[in-house]
Amino acid sequence: MEGFLRADGRKGIRNAVVVVYLVECAHHVARNIVANINHDSVQLIGFPGCYPNDYSLQMMEKLCTHPNVGGVVLVSLGCEGFNREKLAQTILDSGRPIETVVIQNSGGTKKTIALGIEKVTTILTNIADVERAVLTTSDLVIGTICGGSDGTSGISANPAVGACFDILINDGATCIFEETGELIGCEHIMADRAESLELGQALITCVEKAEQYYTKMGYGSFAPGNAEGGLTTQEEKSMGAYAKSGSSDINGIIKPGDIPQKKGLFLMDVVPDGEPKFGFPNISDNAEIVEMIASGALMTLFTTGRGSVVGSAISPVIKICANPETYQNLIEDMDINAGSIIEGKNTVSEVGQEIFDCIINVASGSKSKSEALGHNEFILTYKTFDAIGPSCLR
């Protein structure tokens, strides 16, 4: 495998140019720049809000300096709250080509679209010969999320991703799992896997925070319907989601945008700190995927039972289908049929190996299904976080 070597030493598996709108008012112009260029590697991302927010600025800094990103064009209306100068400086400091176009200073919609097309075209030419370097499994950073889950998710796709994570970590890769709200009941099981007592305590605290947050948002935990589906206890229900983490030691906790400072397995704490302020922690699956990418994920393993079709800007999404019927129905969207476990055709560990092989293919340049279909979804909203504690990142 070969990757794109970045100035900070990290290696990407793609060499994208991202066109970034910094407020919804600049969205149309940015979208038209991307549509006119019509190139696989040129992708649209952005932030819709006009009020400044530390989280969204930090996320944008991490996304624009992600190893899969080769260059950036910022599209600003001109008067929005986003600190475009700081974002541009961070990108410049990372050694990437960066251009900013400001609609109010460039003569409006048409002229800014034309200017943006010019800037993107120049950057595409400039980054075509970016330095390549040998990419090994230990360079990989892989995230996982689930969405559109059903009764099969916890017994096929999620354990298969866990088996794949075990292979990856054994080979020196970095893996990230999340959804602390769905880990309620297994925090003590999880703490037993922590590499230190301090980290174990931090993992428990992290799940307690999620429990309190979701209670305030009016979420329940173990519902009667769960028992009808065969789940007997809270810890069993949570294990269905937790199974994605595999069985390796847990080496740290990160918050969205924190880059793991060592190899191994990390829990991402996605639940905001403090009183609920901006609503649900992640309003849809792509918000979770974006946070994985901000923390350096080169691709995301997405398990689904009912059948999500989304992909993502910046980093490819690999779709692992838990339900054999859904797989047949949505075969063009699914990379892996973990439903074969349900049908008794494959074991959990065989499908884990199949996911690993798929990761290597995608890292080597093959497109995942959602990527080939042009899925480039992206969503970033408001959140508030305190900095991560010292016992977690090390």
Minimum separation from the CB atom of position 49 to other proteins (A) = 38
Interface with other proteins: number of residues (CB under 8 A):
29
Q: Which of 201, 215, 247, 366 is the binder for other proteins (CB under 8 A)?
A: 247
231 binds other proteins (CB under 8 A): yes
Amino acid letter at 123?
A: I
Binders in 319-348 for other proteins, by CB under 8 A: 341-344, 348
239 binds other proteins (CB under 8 A): yes
Minimum separation from the CB atom of position 232 to other proteins (A) = 5
Q: Considering beta carbons, is residue 6 or 237 the nearer one to other proteins?
A: 237
140 binds other proteins (CB under 8 A): no
Residue 8's CB: how many other CB atoms inside 10 A? Answer: 12
222 binds other proteins (CB under 8 A): yes
d(CA 287, CA 312): 10
Minimum separation from the CB atom of position 209 to other proteins (A) = 17
Strands 2-5 and 11-12, by their bridges, are antiparallel
Written as six digits, the tokens of 357 are: 């092989």
365 binds other proteins (CB under 8 A): no
Q: Which H helix or E strand runs over 159?
A: helix 157-170
204 binds other proteins (CB under 8 A): no
Q: How far is CA 251 from the centre of its chain?
A: 19
Q: Which of 128, 227, 360, 372 is the binder for other proteins (CB under 8 A)?
A: 227
Amino acid letter at 144?
A: T
Written as six digits, the tokens of 372 are: 């080939």
Q: Which of 201, 212, 215, 233 is the binder for other proteins (CB under 8 A)?
A: 233
Minimum separation from the CB atom of position 219 to other proteins (A) = 15
- For 114, the 3-state DSSP assignment is helix
Minimum separation from the CB atom of position 223 to other proteins (A) = 9
d(CA 378, CA 46): 8
Closest CA to 124 of 96, 95, 102: 96
Side by side, which strands form the sheet with 69-76?
42-46, 16-21, 69-76, 98-102
17 binds other proteins (CB under 8 A): no
Minimum separation from the CB atom of position 343 to other proteins (A) = 7
235 binds other proteins (CB under 8 A): yes
Contact characters 153-192, other proteins, x per CB under 8 A? --xx--x-------------------------xx-xx---
Minimum separation from the CB atom of position 244 to other proteins (A) = 11
234 binds other proteins (CB under 8 A): yes
Cβ(180)–Cβ(208) below 8 Å: no
Minimum separation from the CB atom of position 152 to other proteins (A) = 8
Burial 34-68 (b: 16+ CB within 10 A, else e): beebeeebbbbbbbbbeeebebbbbbbbbbbbbbb
Contact characters 47-86, other proteins, x per CB under 8 A? ----------------------------------------
Minimum separation from the CB atom of position 240 to other proteins (A) = 8
Q: Considering beta carbons, is residue 229 or 274 the nearer one to other proteins?
A: 229
Residue 160's CB: how many other CB atoms inside 10 A? Answer: 31
236 binds other proteins (CB under 8 A): yes
d(CA 28, CA 145): 30
d(CA 296, CA 162): 19
147 binds other proteins (CB under 8 A): no
- For 324, the 3-state DSSP assignment is helix
Binders in 295-324 for other proteins, by CB under 8 A: none
Q: How far is CA 153 from the centre of its chain?
A: 19
8 binds other proteins (CB under 8 A): no
249 binds other proteins (CB under 8 A): no
Q: Which of 9, 218, 224, 374 is the binder for other proteins (CB under 8 A)?
A: 224
What torsion, rounded to 10 degrees, do the Cα atoms 140, 347, 311, 126 define? 30
203 binds other proteins (CB under 8 A): no
Length of the chain: 394
Written as six digits, the tokens of 129 are: 């010969």
Which residues of this protein are in contact with other proteins, per CB under 8 A?
151-152, 155-156, 159, 185-186, 188-189, 222, 224, 227, 229-236, 239, 242-243, 247, 341-344, 348
